[in-house]
Amino acid sequence: MTITEVSKKFGLSPDTLRYYERIGLIPRVHRNESGIRDYTEEDCRWIEFIKCMRDAGVQIEALIEYVALFQQGDATVEARKQILIEQREQLIARIEEMQKALERLNYKIEQYETKVVPAQNKLKR
Amino acid sequence: MTITEVSKKFGLSPDTLRYYERIGLIPRVHRNESGIRDYTEEDCRWIEFIKCMRDAGVQIEALIEYVALFQQGDATVEARKQILIEQREQLIARIEEMQKALERLNYKIEQYETKVVPAQNKLKR
DNA sequence: ATAAGGCATAGAGTTAACTCCAAGTCAACT
DNA sequence: AGTTGACTTGGAGTTAACTCTATGCCTTAT
């Protein structure tokens, strides 16, 4: 697959794909004879995984480390697992924050719906 | 309350509190005779609300607009409600993205725990 | 064979959201 | 009275994560 195809497939710009590769957020992509990127199935799986994590707000730093460890082989299995566990904890914490905000928004919207002007509004001069 | 007290109470730096006020993310804070911020209960409620929203990733732009409308009074009730609804939708979408990533992390960690080396790893040269 | 279009790289520029800095004011101790 | 320390402002600097630009190389249609 060409970079343009991959770009469309995953909704990431070619610039972003090149950038991800440059900083080691995805392993080095396969090239053809003239040095042009020719993404394999595996390259695509990496991109999809990374996109999923990035969309969820997982920090690039942690992912770069994960990819680097991955490329160092089986000796790093435990370290990789720890990174995933750490990121999972952070993700859970963020989801909880968001649930709190969501409940708050639900409550506020409900107030507006029942035409009850919120307390803050009343106090406001 | 002084800015330092509010800073500690909400875990936002004084710089951030001043910044939020400057850009209209919170309404202008009450001052004493010598121009020094003296946060009222209401100021604090705003800060707490904004912090909750920001922690959940709600965009500053939307919040600034909300605050601005708020200060324009009751005529803007409907517009404010629409902003909240829009932000709620975005929040729900983001939570869903994060749930997906979480499931994926759970799966991957489980793989590591059962000593099954992930498929990607096997394919990797 | 030449012009166009896609891709390459290195490095500069952008954006959001802070965070820091310099210079100055003011109340409260010593 | 002078020093200290928290506060003020306007504006510059930082960081993360892209995004764009300049320059140049291939391949392909004319």
User: Mean pLDDT over residues A106-115, rounded?
Assistant: 92
User: How many residue contacts between A and B have a Cβ separation below 8 Å?
Assistant: 111
Predicted pLDDT at A102: 97
Residue A40 makes CB contacts below 8 A (sequence gap 6+) with: A29, A30
Q: Could you tell me the distance in Å between the CA of residue B64 and the C1' of nucleotide D16?
A: 23
Question: What is the sign of the dihedral through the CA atoms of B75, B76, B79 and B85?
Answer: negative
To the nearest whole angstrom, how far is the Cα of B101 from the nearest Cα of chain A? 6
| CA atoms within a 13 Å half-sphere pointing along the CA-CB vector of B98 | 24
Burial class (CB in 10 A: 0-12, 13-18, 19+), A111: middle
Q: A3-117 has which CATH code? A: 1.10.1660.10
HEC string for B45-56: HHHHHHHHHHHC
Predicted pLDDT at A116: 63
Q: Residue A115 — very low, low, confident or very high, per pLDDT cuts 50/70/90?
A: confident
pLDDT of A35 higher than 70: yes
Strand partners, A31: A37
User: Mean pLDDT over residues B55-83, rounded?
Assistant: 95
A 20-59 residues with CB < 8 A to B? 27, 42, 45-46, 49, 52-53, 55-58
First vs last Cα of chain A: how many Å apart?
62
Q: What is the rounded CA–CA span in Å between residue B102 and residue B123?
A: 24
Predicted pLDDT at A118: 54
Positions on chain C within 7 A of a protein C-beta: 6-10, 16-21, 25-27
A121 lies within 8 A of chain B by CB: yes
Predicted pLDDT at B115: 73
Pick the closest to residue B46 from B57, B54, B56 (CA basis).
B54
Q: Could you tell me the distance in Å between the CA of residue A22 and the C1' of nucleotide C11?
A: 13
Question: What value does the mean pLDDT of chain A take?
Answer: 92
**CATH 3.30.70.920 applies to domain B3-115:** no
Closest nucleotide C1' to the C-alpha of A54: D17
Closest nucleotide C1' to the C-alpha of A35: C8
Asked whether strand D has any atom less than 7 Å from the CB of B20, the reply is no
pLDDT tens figures, B26-59: 999 999 999 999 999 999 999 999 999 999 999 9
User: Mean pLDDT over residues A90-115, rounded?
Assistant: 95
pLDDT tens figures, A55-76: 999 999 999 999 999 999 999 9
Predicted pLDDT at A117: 60
Torsion of CA A23, A27, A33, A39, to 10 degrees: -110
Q: Residue B118 — very low, low, confident or very high, per pLDDT cuts 50/70/90?
A: low
Q: What is the rounded CA–CA span in Å between residue B76 and residue A118?
A: 13
Contacts of B109 in chain A (CB under 8 A): 81, 84-85, 88
Closest nucleotide C1' to the C-alpha of B32: D7
Contact flag A80-B112 (C-beta cutoff 8 Å): yes
Predicted pLDDT at A125: 40
Predicted pLDDT at B125: 40
Residue A123 makes CB contacts below 8 A (sequence gap 6+) with: B42
To the nearest whole angstrom, how far is the Cα of A15 from the nearest Cα of chain B? 23
Q: Residue A40 — very low, low, confident or very high, per pLDDT cuts 50/70/90?
A: very high
Predicted pLDDT at A120: 55
